[in-house]
Structure 1
Amino acid sequence: MHALNLQPKNLSLVERLADLAVDALIDEADLSPKPALVDRRGNGAHTDLHLGLMHASALSLWPAFKEMAEAAIEFGEVGLPLREAVGRIGREGEQAMLDTTGGVNTHRGAIWALGLLVTAVALEPQSCRAHSVALRAARLALLDDRFAPRPLSHGAQVAQRYGARGAREEAQLGFRAVTQRALPQLQRSRAAGHGEQNARLDALLAIMTNLADTCVLYRAGEEGLNTMQRGAKAVLDAGGSASLGGRRRLHELDQQLIALNASPGGAADLLAACLFIDRIESGDGLIQGVF
């Protein structure tokens, strides 16, 4: 059951946006079979994660997403005050996540991505096309938070070592992996009648074909990244997740990435961002009536 289904129907905009962000995280976690990622089958390439922990982590972030949306409404424009408020709330949300998971990093990258997108929607809820939301999020991401701690995350260290774009740069460039790859593939697979779960898997694979996933680079280096990108392309070239050939390739990719201890967590975070934007853009009634 989705988090939003546990809430009364007469929710405010900020509550609905927080619901949608949490829903996107839960939908991403539940999606199966994802290559080397936690899903309904098991833990993928992870030893410290499981599906229940992913759900608990997602739910722990609801207050942070709500506060980010409230900050957007309070400040009313992209600027340093809003950027620093979102940064502070994000760090508080990360601590709540770590308290919930016993110190395990389940959703640090997703807090960054979805936090920016929630804020961007709350700033201009009447302008919810994917590219418009992504552009507002990018403008916010380009601002420097003076209060952000400076120690480099694993992703930032890897980005420097390999010259790859980390989560920060992906946001600053307008979430191109989402707007140019994941969302178009999601829509193509739906239009082809592949079913919602297969369409979402195909969207994840579309991200993986091109993303320099710093989670994979950290765990398995360039070999892992090349395996991920080639394998994801092979699944789509074989007909995608809805085809027998695509499923065979997907199983092969899953086994290869697990053997390399390579889990595409960056791609998973961007899939959650894709699912959030898709729900916002589709006008399916979840946020109607509050604008």
Structure 2
Amino acid sequence: MRALKLHEISLADRLADRAVDALIDEADLSPKPALVDRRGNGAHSDLHLGLMHASALSLWPMFKEMAEAALEFGEVGLPLREALGRIGREGEQAMLTTTHGVNTHRGAIWALGLLTAAAALEPRAVTLTAAKLALLNDRYAPQPLSHGAQVAQRYGARGAREEAQLGFPSVMQRGLPQLHKSREQNAGEQNARLDALLAIMTDLADTCVLYRAGTEGLHAMQHGAQAVLDAGGSATLAGRRQLHALDQQLLALNASPGGAADLLAACLFIDRLDGAL
């Protein structure tokens, strides 16, 4: 059989590949504080690395369909926004079927779904286009608030919806600049990605942490992440010591920064968009 040539792979396929790659790379990255990684389950009793991989792969058809919908509609508007909402809900059900009901990537479906559609629609203004989509109200969205939305409302924090509506500032102003800075300092790719995660954690009001450990957990996450970067980052011995201390502190609080992990996946997706486009 003739080998498939790169130019025969559709844009929607390539964007779906990048989205799933970003989720798998985020899951594999180690050592992440209190998160599932190659070492173990972090602060999660119901998750493991194999489940995270299976969940990510189950979302590939959803990401492809979102990109195809963006190409079909051709513009930001309520019809596209509601199509993305429907596709996302179907993707979530596929995920839950794969994981036997465990929520592995609900937040990532929102963030990466918007970014995948935006990349198909306006590849040179991805976060701005995603923000425009996020600002539109899906009339068919379920009314009960998610745990993240409830926590954001309770603490006055910026939840996943607001993060997207603002154009992903945690990614564009924290994660990506730190990723590039650490690469320029020859920290190594894995350390650069860890530093990007930590940079996101320094300022993010992570609703996953707030839900599990309240403001005590949030302050521990933010201050601990900043301490790692202040010590020289995860590529240094002093930084690794601070990272270990942060990991132990968050585990003791049962505080897992899942929101920051979702945004790291978004960061990795945006970072490698040129290869897909």
State if a TM-score over 0.5 links the two structures. yes
Q: CA RMSD in A?
A: 0.9
Q: Which runs of 5+ in 2 are unaligned?
A: none
> For 1:209-224, what aligned pairs fall within 5 Å after superposition?
209-224=202-217
The alpha carbon displacement at 1:62 in A equals: 0.3
Q: What secondary structure is seen at the aligned counterpart in 1 of 2:276?
A: coil
The alpha carbon displacement at 1:143 in A equals: 0.1
Q: What secondary structure is seen at the aligned counterpart in 1 of 2:79?
A: helix
Match of 1:70 in 2: 68
The C-alpha deviation readout for 1:143-196, integer Å capped at 9, x for no partner, is 000000010100001001000011001000110000000000000000000000
Q: Does 1:32 align with 2:30?
A: yes
**% of aligned pairs identical?**
81
Q: 1:251 to 1:56 in 2, by over 3 A?
A: same
**Distance in 2 separating the partners of 1:261 and 1:80:** 39
The alpha carbon displacement at 1:124 in A equals: 2.3
The alpha carbon displacement at 1:287 in A equals: 2.1
| Alignment equivalent of 1:54, drawn from 52, 55, 62 | 52
**Distance in 2 separating the partners of 1:20 and 1:8:** 18
| TM-score, with length taken from structure 1 | 0.93
Letter in 1 for 2:121: L
Aligned residues: 273
> For 1:1-291, what aligned pairs fall within 5 Å after superposition?
9=6, 10-125=8-123, 127=124, 132-280=125-273, 283=274, 286-288=275-277
The alpha carbon displacement at 1:123 in A equals: 0.5
**Distance in 2 separating the partners of 1:140 and 1:272:** 19
The alpha carbon displacement at 1:8 in A equals: 6.8
Letter in 2 for 1:30: D
Letter in 1 for 2:195: D
**Distance in 1 separating the partners of 2:139 and 2:227:** 43
Match of 1:4 in 2: none
**Distance in 2 separating the partners of 1:152 and 1:80:** 21
The C-alpha deviation readout for 1:77-106, integer Å capped at 9, x for no partner, is 000000000000000000000000000000
Q: Which runs of 4+ in 1 moved over 2 A?
A: 7-10
